[in-house]
Amino acid sequence: MANEPVRQREQTAGRDLSYPAPPEPLPVPVYDNHTHLEISDGEHPLSLAEQLDRAVSVGVQGVIQVGGDRETSRWSAEAAASEPRMLAAVAIHPNEAPDYEQAGTLDDALAEISELAGRPRVVAIGETGLDFFRTGPEGLAAQYRSFEAHIEIAKQNGLALQIHDRNAHAEV
């Protein structure tokens, strides 16, 4: 279901993972352009509507929910289709691209991202880019191929890019 989180955050023993009190409302309304609302802490999960209600209560009028793999990109696009306070970005994160390549499914994943990019409430391709911190040399070719494909998908659909750049400034 589109309103249910698809992943849970790892639990760390001894840490207080309860939600803090909301901050003071912002002096002007804003739109958060990079959220991962599909990630749940597992112990205190909030529905999508509850998360967005909390955001609105402090001045965040809406969000762009970012995908990083096929599952979260699909979830983002589907949730945005039914939630007026949400828009979506879809992509294969650079750290995920080598895994798709190794499994022989990167082309299929990119084709799905291209399909999702055409949906009305998808406004960006992201989170895409290059990450030389987590991926070793053997995964860089897949990152480059994925990033280049995402750039083309963004151009074809007239969409913005949400770029992830870690230790790859010159190359990005």
Average pLDDT over residues 89-100: 98
Q: How far apart are CA 64 and CA 118, in angstroms?
A: 16
Q: Please provide the average confidence, as pLDDT, over all residues in the chain.
A: 91
Q: How far is CA 47 from CA 3, 28, 53, 138, 140, in A?
A: 7, 25, 10, 39, 36
Query: How far apart are alpha carbons 84 and 91 in whole angstroms?
Result: 21
Q: Read off the pLDDT of each residue in 2-25 and give the average, rounded to a whole number.
A: 66
**Residue ranges per structural domain of the chain:** 48-166
Q: Kindly report the CATH number that applies to the domain delimited by 48-166.
A: 3.20.20.140
80 vs 66: CA distance, rounded Å: 11
Contact 27, 106 (CB under 8 A): no
- Helix, strand or coil, per DSSP, at residue 136: coil
Look up residue 65 and give its amino acid.
Q
| Residue 23 Ramachandran class (φ > 0 left, ψ -120 to 50 alpha, else beta) | beta
**What global pTM score does this model have?**
0.86
pLDDT for res 13: 67
Looking at the predicted structure, is the pLDDT value of residue 123 above 70? yes
**Average pLDDT of the residues in 116-141:** 96
